Structure 1
């Protein structure tokens, strides 16, 4: 009989009535209902508090451009589902189109050790650890807003839940072709290298030294046209004379 190596955490999170996203009712009101007042006060129940009894609201994906993938792992399903529910609600109020949580494959690890080093050395004991994972995807969002959302998840993280994020950022490609195009006739020396491109590098001192070496006649002998070797011409063999 296998035993779990890591026990579930027992803290204040157990006081919450966490309902899985799949089994929770969807909040789709058709008519405006009456406001419910909180017991002991004359104030109505806030809508954000009432929404905790329903599944998290989601913004529909419009363009289908993937921006980030969030993987959450934990040894306890209860804390993992609770943190996924919190991440979906925080993403909705930030305007992030989210999909998930998608259950990933549970990782099982087992160890077999002796029960004791002396008396019970011949008896064995097995331990098992299960790592549960969930996947959230962020679509059609600004990278700055995704950073704010990840900062909120990091600040209000739950004990025993690990978070791993992969972000996909699009950057503009603006190549500079002016450096490779010679502006004067003397910009390209006999070696075929652009001196103006070398002198505009990050370190101007090194670029100036390289340009000075390229202009040296002794260096040009080894890299110039003098290095071109001519292949020996082969004369066709004359056939032997027949008598």
Structure 2
């Protein structure tokens, strides 16, 4: 077997491959003049508009049909379309854009089940969308966790103790740019269909002018609503008496 000498080792060397970059791709990219750039952007804009218009023209015409309550059809053979508001339940609640950004109401949700709070929060957002109220997202607030330790036995000298954990979830939604009447209608509708294990708390903000106190001072004759006329309910009569008292006018 031949021996390897240092002279033979000196003949070994490494070949390092060199990476070269071609400048042809850079030369092909020519800078556009302002006029050509404007023409190119206008052409792209027209192509996008044509594409959107083609999408709108190719839509299937929505023709809702109603079935009689006396005729029964199988679900597979029925061609009854799904209402749009029912179809939107599969997606994130729609929200209207804000016009001024004035906060008119903050609805806080509190409960022990996070899923129930999410359902009620999305229900409130969907109801506000159909009432024309711009809303914020369903925001998560700080989660409260408490630990309760009590003795397990009714005897005071008992050594065995038991721990109870309670987790309270909090969420909120904020309403913007809406009339007070619409906000009251929205809150009453959400409160009507609220879950029993979800607590709702609404903070309503009202905006008045700088001369609000002067306008109140000029009010002399306070007219009652026509709903109090011709009633025999003792509670309503007492309310009417209180509204007509001098003390109520002074506080007002």
When normalised by structure 1's length, the TM-score is 0.56
Find the counterpart in structure 2 of residue 144 from structure 1: 181
* Two-structure CA RMSD over aligned residues (Å): 2.8
> Deviation at 1:42?
3.2
- Contact 1:114-1:120 within 8 A present in 2 as well: no
Deviations 1:88-134 (CA, angstroms, capped at 9, x unpaired): 10000000000021100001111100111249921111101111010
1:109 aligns with 2:150: no
**SS state at 2:199 partner:** strand
**SS state at 2:172 partner:** strand
Deviations 1:113-158 (CA, angstroms, capped at 9, x unpaired): 0111249921111101111010100011111100000000111111
1:155 aligns with 2:192: yes
When normalised by structure 2's length, the TM-score is 0.54
Q: How does 1:95-106 map to 2 (within 5 A)?
A: 95-106=132-143
> Deviation at 1:41?
3.1
1:84 aligns with 2:121: yes
> Out of 11, 23, 47, which is 2:84 matched to?
47
Specify every segment of 5 or more residues in structure 2 that has no aligned partner in the other structure, as ranges: 1-54, 66-74, 218-245, 248-252
> Deviation at 1:176?
4.5
Specify every segment of 5 or more residues in structure 1 that has no aligned partner in the other structure, as ranges: 1-29, 180-201, 204-243
Change (3 A) 1:81 1:40: farther
Number of residue pairs aligned between Structure 1 and Structure 2? 151
1:164 aligns with 2:204: no
Change (3 A) 1:62 1:39: farther
Find the counterpart in structure 2 of residue 130 from structure 1: 167
- Contact 1:103-1:133 within 8 A present in 2 as well: yes
Aligned-partner Cα distance in 2 for 1:153–1:112: 37
Aligned-partner Cα distance in 1 for 2:156–2:203: 50
Aligned-partner Cα distance in 1 for 2:155–2:214: 74
- Contact 1:74-1:160 within 8 A present in 2 as well: yes
> Deviation at 1:159?
2.2
Change (3 A) 1:124 1:46: same
Runs of 4+ in 1 over 4 A off after TM superposition: 33-40
